Structure formats: structure tokens, C-alpha cells
Chain A
Amino acid sequence: MLEIDELAINYDQVEAVRKVSIAVGAGEMVALIGANGAGKTTVLHSVMGLLKPKAGTIRLKGENIVGAPSKRILDLGVALVPEGRQLFGHLSVLENLEVGYARKFGIRFDRAGFEGRVAKIDAYFPRIRERLKQTSGTLSGGEQQMVAIARALMSDPDILLLDEPSLGLSPIMMDTVLDLLVQLHGEGMAILLVEQNARAALRISERAYVLDSGVTTLNGRARALLRDPRVQQAYLGL
């Protein structure tokens, strides 16, 4: 599905990512863990076409997407739930979903297609169903995270990238969000989960990568990494 190979990215003169290789298979849930500043968000942004890598390749369903515009990458079936949710806070929940659905620049809106899409994902989001008309900026943090995920799902992706989805949420809300990811994964969605909460991410993922100073240093089965002393010491506080 997604293959990142020997990726290197510079911000001006600073090497943000030096050597990153990550693969996510179809329907697979993969975690990417690492300290602040390790380059996790940079990797996600390069997949979405926001950053031009200095070296390396990013393949999506076999197609090299380095240099492709974000719109093309969405068309190929990738969606990102960004860090901090990044909702359009002055727009209603419904409008946030509409903007996520209608990527084409035009006057016409495929209302039937939109409603069909909403009906498909509706069951995952019982809490936001009654809040469609509400201004999204007035929702609670957990509800906003749900809307951010729902908005990303509007493009009907095959792989969902999530950047710190549990950040700033209460423990209960965090569990709800992680349960939702498990549910989506259970129905065949490939997921690349970037999380500061390494323990939670490793528990629900099949495989994981550890990113340290812009290099993927460790990778393997998530359960094995949970028991790895290097991971325990650096990321699990044991």
C-alpha cells in the first residue's frame, strides 16, 4: 500500500529526516513512535505532498508520489488527520464534512454522493450525528477529534494517516478515539498511527517503527517492541 524508502528531508539547512523507511501493507495498522522533534510529522507531511524530499522514494500502490500535488495523493486513497485536529472552527460540522468531501473546485455539489458517504461512516460517530449544525469550534476536544477523523474519511481513503490523535484528550476520550481506530482497522482500513503515547499505540498496532533523530532505528511486531528494553526505557518510562 504505502512504501517509504530511505527518505531524507531538509528544512533549509536542517536535516529533519535523514533515513526513514516504512512500509504499510493493505489493511495493516502500523505505529510510528518517537520523541518530539524526531521527524514524525515531517514524514507524514512528505507523504501528503506538502514537503519535497531531498532523497528517497514514497510509493503508493506502486506509484511514486514524490512531487505529486496533495490532491493527487488524496485521489490515490490517502488521508491525513493532522495534529491539533485543524478543524475549520467557524464552519459547522456539516460544512467541515462537505469541504472534506468536495475537493473539486466548482459550483456543483454532489449532494446525493455526499449523503451516501455520510451514511456510510455515520455508525462510527454516534456523538457527532446530533451536532451537524453546530459550529465545530464549540465542540469539546474529543468531539473535535471525531469530526477531524470523519472529515478525513469523507474522501473514502484506503489508508489513514493520523498525527497524535490522542493529544490533549481525557483518558476516556482517548480510549474512544483509539477504539474507533481499531474498529476502522477491523473493517479493512490501513492505518499509519503517529503517537506520543507509545504504549497505547503499540497495544493496538500490528507492527511499529521507532523514529530517532530522523532515522528509523527499530521496527518489528508491536508486541515485541512493547517488551524491547530499548523501547521500554526510552518511550515507555520503565
Chain B
Amino acid sequence: MELDIFLQQLLNGLTIGVGYALVAGGLAAIFGIMRIVNFAHGEFFMIGGYALYYAMAVLGLPYFAAGPLAVLAVVAVGYLVQRLTIEPLMEADPLNTLLVTFALSLFIFHSVVVVAGSSGRNIDTPFEDVITLGNVILTEQKLFVMLGGLLILGALAVFLAYTPIGKQMRATAENRYAATILGIDVRRVDRFTFGLGIGLAAVAGVLIAPITPLVPAVGASYTLKAFAVIVLGGMGSIPGAIIAGTGLGLVEALTAGYLSSAWKDGVAFVVLITVLLTRPTGLLGKGGAH
């Protein structure tokens, strides 16, 4: 019985943790490569969920067609946002882009409230069935989130490690000046990075929206969590964000299971503070494990 509860919480934690890892991985890429603090990051998670909802409810598309379409739509919005509001300010004081992304988060949030209202939406997916393994219960959608999310994170790791663009991204993250004098088009690297980061948040939105009440405020809560995760993982470290995101999901779920769900955010931040007291640069931050 004890083991069942533990396994149940482990699976719950892994599901939510994969979502955090996707959102925070994108935030870490944008911060690590562009040095942009994207306060609007969680909003792209949120509009990913809403884009999915409208593609299914209004266009009548099935989940598997609506999901990719929603991600593409959000990436297109992200690309325009980057070109119009962030790229012109890349050389300016970083405070400018900080204010821009903060304004964007408010703009996106209130736009969604105006269009969709602030009440919750439910999304029905083809994965409504429940899988039971002894006393452990798992919905098919949660399994899909876990497997789909892990697959995408794995693909991201392979992409960064082995493709020329991935290597250019890592090189630019580490030394933008050296990348520039070697003839790397860092502006294109930036555009790609922003699109990729936003895309990861939107993928998380499409995966998670069916298992969580979809409300406009969910964006801000994911922004906050993602920032905690990238601080925990080491600022700008994508592997760090993936490990820390998954870990945060597990800590939250185990806290909710063994203590109370009221405690889960509190315990999560206690873990964050403890890690920072012992490793001020985060789990995989510069000056740490590298």
C-alpha cells in the first residue's frame, strides 16, 4: 500500500515535471543564448493550451491535428514578437527587453481574458481511458504527456549535441563575441532560439492543457515555476533546467501526496533555497559541474 502511494505520486510528479522541464528548457535556452529574461514565457505555454482548445472546439480538428497546429501558431506569434519587439533592442540596455517581455506577459494575459474569458476550459482528448497497475492509477493522457515530453526532451538533447545549429547555439551561449568573429550569424541564432524556446513552452501547453484546468492565469504560474527551475538548474543551462524541472515536479507531487497539496509550493521553494545555499550557481551552473 505504501509503495502504491509512492509510485502514484512518482508518476504524477513525473508528468508535471516533464511539463516544467519543457517550459523551463525553453526559458533557459532564451536566457543562455540571448541573455533575455523572458517574463512572458509562461504566457506562451498558456496560449498553446488555448490555441489547442480553439483548434479543437472551433475548427473541429482532432487532438493530433490540433496539437501541432497550435504549436506552429504560437511559434509564429513568438517569431513576430521577437522580430518586432526584442531584436531591435538586443544591443540596448538589458532593462529594455526586461520591460518589453513584462509588458508582453500583461498584453497576452489580458488579450486572452478579453477573447476567452477567465473561466476554465476543458479539453477532451482521445486519451480518456484510465490505466490501472495494481492500485496505481494513470490516465492515458498523463502517460502521453510523460512519453511525448520525454521524447521531445531527448530530441532536443540530440539536436543541441550533434547538429551544426545546435553547436552554433551552444557556442553563442558561451561566447557571443567569439561566435561573431567566426562569422556565425548570431541574429539568426537568436531568432531560431526564441522560436525554439517558445515552441517548447507551446508543446508543454498542448500536452498539459487537457489534464489541468485551463485558465489565463496558468501562464503566470508557469513563468514563476520556470524561473525557479532555471535558477535551480543553473542559469542558462538547458540540461540543468530539464533535471531541475523534472525534480521540481517530483518534489511537488510527493509533498502533495505525503503532506498536503497546500504545502507543495512551499516545499518546492525550500528545496530551491537549500540548493542555492549549498550550490549558489545551481545544479549545472557555470563554475559548478562544468
Contact = CB atoms under 8 A, between A and B. Distances in A.
Interface string B151-189: 000000000000111011011001101111111110011
Contacts of B185: 69, 71, 103, 105
Contact of B184 (A87, A90, A103): A103
Interface in B257-290: 290
B180 A50 contact: yes
Contacts of A99: 167-168, 171, 179, 182, 184
Interface residues of A, number: 33
Given A99-B168, A105-B165, A106-B165, A82 B180 contact: no
A103 B182 contact: yes
Given A95-B167, A98-B164, A90 B290 contact: yes
Contact of A48 (B167, B175, B181, B188): B181
Q: Is the interface of B mostly helix, strand, loop or mixed?
A: helix
Nearest to B178: A86
A122 B167 CA distance: 22
A88 interface: yes
Interface residues of B, number: 22
22 contacts: A70-B180, A70-B183, A80-B181, A82-B177, A86-B175, A86-B181, A88-B178, A90-B174, A91-B170, A98-B164, A99-B182, A100-B182, A103-B182, A104-B164, A105-B168, A105-B192, A106-B164, A107-B163, A107-B165, A108-B164, A137-B290, A151-B182
Given A70-B181, A86-B175, A90-B170, 20 more contacts: A80-B181, A88-B170, A88-B171, A90-B174, A90-B290, A91-B171, A98-B167, A99-B167, A99-B171, A99-B182, A99-B184, A100-B182, A102-B164, A103-B184, A103-B185, A104-B164, A106-B165, A107-B164, A107-B165, A109-B163
| A-B residue pairs, 3 tightest by C-beta | A74-B183, A103-B183, A86-B178
